[in-house]
C-alpha cells in the first residue's frame, strides 16, 4: 500500500511555506551532514515529523536539536509509518588520500545503508511514498566543456561507478512501489560548512587561488536551493529517476576563485599546479579537483522549480553578507 499522499502542490518558487495537510513522517539518513542537518531543521519547521537515523546519537544530538534520533531501524515503533525517506548516508569523499580500501568504504557506506533500508521496508511489507537518495554529478564522469543534463551518457571513472552502484540500490524501491528520485548533487555552498569550510581560511589569508589551469567546471548549488529541491521532489509527483541538483549557471574553478576573492576582498594570485595536486591528493585530485562537470538542472527547471540563487555572485554574496 502507498503510505499517505503528497502534502502540497509542486513548489515553483523555492521553498514552500505550506504546511502538510496532515503530519507526514520523513526518515533521514546522513542527517548530521551539511545537507541533512539543514533539511531536518527546515522539515521540522514546515510541520513534518522528522526521524534521523544515526549511528552516533551523542553527536547527532549536538547537530539536530528537537529532532528524534534513532540508531537502528528496529527502534521504530510498529505503528509508525514512514511516508518519505531522504537517504544521504555515505562516507565523505574527502576522507583522505584514496586507496583501494578507502574507495571500497565509500561504496559500502552508501550501498549497504541503502540495501538495509530496502530490506527493512520489504520485510515490513509497506513502502515509503517517495524515496529520495543522494548521488552526485560525478555520475557522468569527465566531459570537458560539454553541457550535461540527465540524459547525457556517462564516461568511466570511479565516481561514475560509485554513483551508479548507489543509484541502482536506491532504484530497487521502485519494485516495492515507491517513487524514486536520485539527486545528482553538485558542490553545495553555505556558510561555515560544506566546500567553503576548507576554502575560506586560505582565501582570507591571501593564499587562495585556482586549482590547475582553473578551466575545470564547478557545478555548484546554494544550500537553500539544495534543501528546497528535496522538498520539490517530495511535492512534485511528476519527478522520478535522476535529477541534477545544481545551479543552472555552472562556472569554472577559475571564475569561482575570482568571485570568492573579490567578495572576501583578498588577492587570488596563487594557484596549485596540477602536478602538485596529483602528488598531494593522488586519484582524488584527478577525479574531483582537476575535473568537473558542466551539469545543468534540466529536469528541475522543466518541472517548475525556480532557483533562489541563480548566479555564483548572488550565492557567495548572500553567504558572506555580514
pLDDT at 42: 97
Cα separation, 58 vs 275, whole angstroms = 41
pLDDT band at 273 (very low <50, low <70, confident <90, very high): confident
The lowest-confidence range among 102-106, 107-111, 197-201, 282-286 is 282-286
Q: Which among 269, 278, 288 has a CA at the least distance from the CA of 203?
A: 269
Q: pLDDT-derived band of residue 269, with 50, 70 and 90 as boundaries? A: confident
Whether the Cβ atoms of residue 105 and residue 26 lie closer than 8 Å to each other = no
d(CA 279, CA 296): 31
Q: What is the mean pLDDT of the chain?
A: 90
**Residue in 89, 186, 92 with CA at minimum distance from that of residue 132:** 89
Check residues 287 and 75 and name the one with the higher pLDDT: 75
Contacts of 112 (CB under 8 A, 6+ apart): none
pLDDT at 219: 96
Under the banding of pLDDT at 50, 70 and 90, the label for residue 125 is: confident
Residue 12, pLDDT score: 45
Tell me the per-residue pLDDT of 135-145, one tens digit each, with 9 for 90 and over.
Answer: 999 999 999 99
User: Which comes out higher in pLDDT, residue 216 or 275?
Assistant: 216
Percent of the residues in the chain that have a pLDDT greater than 70, as a whole number: 93
d(CA 123, CA 27): 17
pLDDT for 7 equals 34
Q: Residue 198 burial by CB count (10 A; 0-12/13-18/19+): exposed, middle or buried? A: exposed
Mean pLDDT computed over 143-152? 95
Q: What is the pLDDT of residue 5?
A: 31
Q: Which domains does the chain have, with CATH numbers?
A: 25-189+219-247+294-309 (3.40.50.720)
pLDDT at 16: 43
- The pLDDT tens digits of the residues spanning 43-85 come to 999 999 999 999 899 999 999 988 999 999 989 877 789 999 9
Contacts of residue 194, defined as CB under 8 A and 6 or more positions apart, other chains included, come to 34, 187, 188, 223
CA distance 272 to 153: 31
pLDDT of 228-265, one tens digit each? 999 999 999 999 999 999 999 999 999 999 999 999 99
The answer to pTM > 0.85 is yes
Tell me what pLDDT residue 294 has.
Answer: 96
Looking at residue 3, what is its pLDDT?
Answer: 31
Q: Which residue has the higher pLDDT, 23 or 317?
A: 317
Amino acid at each position: 500500500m502507498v503510505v499517505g499522499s503528497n502534502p502540497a502542490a509542486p513548489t515553483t518558487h523555492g521553498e514552500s511555506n505550506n504546511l502538510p495537510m496532515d503530519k507526514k513522517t520523513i526518515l533521514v539518513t546522513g542527517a548530521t551532514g551539511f545537507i541533512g542537518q539543514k533539511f531536518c531543521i527546515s522539515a521540522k519547521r514546515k510541520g513534518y515529523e522528522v526521524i534521523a537515523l544515526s549511528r552516533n546519537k551523542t553527536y547527532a544530538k549536538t547537530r539536530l536539536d528537537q529532532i528524534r534520533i534513532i540508531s537502528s531501524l528496529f527502534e521504530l515503533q510498529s505503528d509508525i509509518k514512514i511516508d518519505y525517506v531522504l537517504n544521504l548516508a555515505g562516507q565523505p569523499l574527502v576522507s583522505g588520500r584514496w586507496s583501494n580500501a578507502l574507495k571500497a568504504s565509500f561504496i559500502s557506506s552508501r550501498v549497504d545503508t541503502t540495501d538495509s533500508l530496502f530490506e527493512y521496508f520489504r520485510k515490513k511489507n509497506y513502502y515509503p511514498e517517495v524515496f529520495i537518495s543522494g548521488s552526485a554529478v560525478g555520475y557522468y564522469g569527465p566531459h570537458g566543456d560539454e553541457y550535461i543534463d540527465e540524459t547525457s551518457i556517462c564516461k568511466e571513472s570511479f565516481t561514475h561507478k560509485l554513483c551508479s552502484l548507489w543509484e541502482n540500490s536506491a532504484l530497487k524501491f521502485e519494485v516495492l512501489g515507491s517513487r524514486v528520485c536520485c539527486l545528482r548533487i553538485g558542490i553545495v555552498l553555505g556558510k561555515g560548512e560544506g566546500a567553503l569550510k576548507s576554502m575560506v581560511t586560505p582565501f582570507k589569508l591571501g593564499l587562495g587561488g585556482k586549482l590547475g589551469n582553473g578551466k575545470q567546471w564547478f557545478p555548484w548549488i546554494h544550500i537553500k536551493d539544495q534543501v528546497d529541491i528535496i522538498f520539490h521532489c517530495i511535492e512534485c509527483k511528476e519527478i522520478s529517476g535522476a535529477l541534477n541538483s545544481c545551479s543552472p549557471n555552472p562556472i569554472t574553478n577559475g571564475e569561482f576563485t575570482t568571485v570568492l576573492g573579490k567578495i572576501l576582498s583578498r588577492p587570488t594570485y596563487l594557484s596549485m599546479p596540477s602536478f602538485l595536486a596529483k602528488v598531494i591528493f593522488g586519484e582524488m585530485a584527478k577525479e574531483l579537483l582537476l575535473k568537473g562537470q558542466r551539469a545543468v538542472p534540466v529536469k528541475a527547471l522543466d518541472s517548475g522549480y525556480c532557483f533562489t540563487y541563480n548566479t555564483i555572485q548572488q550565492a557567495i554574496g548572500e553567504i558572506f553578507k555580514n
